[in-house]
Amino acid sequence: MRAGARAGVALAVLALAVAPALPVARAATSPWSLDETVGIAGDGAHATRAWHIAYDPHVYSNVWTLAIPPGATFVGAHDGTGALTAAPPSHGQVTITTRGSPFDVDLTEPLTTNGAFLQADAGPSAAKDSPTSVRFDLPSGWTLSGWAASSGVAAPKNGTWRGTGPFFVEALLVPRGTVDPGPDARGVAGGVAREANANVSARLAQVDVTIVYDTDQYSPTWLIPLPDDAKLVSVTAPL
């Protein structure tokens, strides 16, 4: 997990950046760009994904076939004039007829639960030489607690990740009204800290073990041996 990760909190990364079927070029290629903005829908359970695509109409056709990210639903497309014609999505793709000017594609996707967080995904589906960017536009009270991105993608500047070609970003979000305790002071950079407390009675002993680890160094999956005759009661995360 990259910048924004916290000791004691793990992020499981599984994402797919899918390149689109390119529009037909009429002449030597000139890179087209795709900028993605991710927001939160009013129900608090879905993410909105808006793609802004700019291109040279002297180079590219006005018919575009784009891959819809897995799990996302195509909502519509429009430009500065109004709605654009789009064929019904098929086989994970949508074909849009533009008016030869920059246009926007609107998608929606359910937020998923990742431990104690809600996870939102982003990933510009673009050509390998396309300038691309991603930013998260969160409602008041929501917090971007951690993130992970494709290999080679630099940390965000002014809240925006930038790259060339397809890449993905996964963000862990804390909704409004949920307190984020921040980094655990017991964490050790590059290491693991363990702390145990035992409550002993005449009949049994209850042992509470806390593990704080560097999520940049360790996997989110842990194999912890249980002592003989011990029973696992519960596992909790910081939130």
211 in any annotated domain: no
12 in any annotated domain: no
How much is the pLDDT for 23? Answer: 55
108 in any annotated domain: yes
Q: How confident is the model at residue 19 (pLDDT cuts 50, 70, 90)?
A: very low
Residue 239 has pLDDT above 60, yes or no: no
7 in any annotated domain: no
Give Cβ neighbours of residue 124 (< 8 Å, ≥ 6 apart). 17, 34, 35, 36, 51, 130, 132, 133, 134, 163, 166, 167
How much is the pLDDT for 159? Answer: 83
Residues of the chain above pLDDT 90, percent: 43
Task: Select the more confidently predicted residue: 22 or 47.
Answer: 47
How much is the pLDDT for 139? Answer: 92
Residue 14 has pLDDT above 60, yes or no: no
Rank 38-42, 110-114, 177-181, 204-208 by mean pLDDT and report only the highest: 38-42
Residue 106 · residue 48 · CB < 8 Å: yes
Residue span of the structural domain in which 72 resides: 33-174
Task: Select the more confidently predicted residue: 117 or 162.
Answer: 162
135 in any annotated domain: yes
70: domain CATH number is: 2.60.40.3650
231 in any annotated domain: no
Distance between CA atoms of residues 17 and 117, nearest Å: 22
Q: How confident is the model at residue 61 (pLDDT cuts 50, 70, 90)?
A: very high
How much is the pLDDT for 54? Answer: 96
State the total domains in the chain.
Answer: 1
Residue 31 · residue 22 · CB < 8 Å: no
Residue 28 has pLDDT above 80, yes or no: no
Please tell me whether the overall predicted TM-score, pTM, comes out greater than 0.85 for this model: no
How much is the pLDDT for 91? Answer: 93
> Range with the lowest mean pLDDT among 87-96, 182-191, 205-214?
182-191
| Strand order, beta sheet including 63-67 | 63-67, 93-97, 85-86
200 in any annotated domain: no
First and final C-alpha spacing in the chain: 18
192 in any annotated domain: no
Token pair of 94, please? 């949508």
Which pLDDT tens digit goes with each residue over 152-203?
888 888 889 999 999 989 998 989 888 766 667 777 788 888 888 888 888 8
> Range with the lowest mean pLDDT among 32-41, 75-84, 169-178?
169-178
